[in-house]
């Protein structure tokens, strides 16, 4: 099967390496090699500081009493 694919690419190399071929190959490769989105949150702070880190759609109310 891989050999058939390779033969087809070689036979159609003018199309494959033209604009539309590069686009199609890029989309196919992008689907297979998609990076996972990182959900980790990191925060750095100095000594004595107040830090608030909230995710999406979070309401934070900072009142000093």
DSSP characters over 1-63: -HHHHHHHHHHTHHHHTSHHHHHHHHHHHHHHTPPPPP--------TT-------TT------
The answer to whether position 46 is within a domain reads: no
The answer to whether position 14 is within a domain reads: yes
| pTM for the predicted model, two decimal places | 0.34
Range of the domain at 15: 1-33
pLDDT-derived band of residue 16, with 50, 70 and 90 as boundaries? low
- Please answer whether residues 54 and 60 qualify as being in contact, where contact means their C-beta atoms are separated by less than 8 angstroms: yes
The answer to whether position 16 is within a domain reads: yes
The answer to whether position 55 is within a domain reads: no
pLDDT attached to residue 44: 74
Domain count, the chain: 1
The answer to whether position 65 is within a domain reads: no
């Amino acid at each position: 099967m891989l050999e058939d694919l390779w033969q087809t690419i070689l036979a159609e190399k003018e199309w494959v390496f033209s604009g539309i071929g590069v686009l199609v190959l890029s989309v196919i490769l992008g689907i297979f090699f998609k990076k996972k989105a990182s959900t980790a949150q990191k925060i750095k702070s100095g000594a004595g500081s107040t830090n608030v880190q909230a995710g999406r759609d979070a309401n934070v109310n900072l009142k000093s009493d």
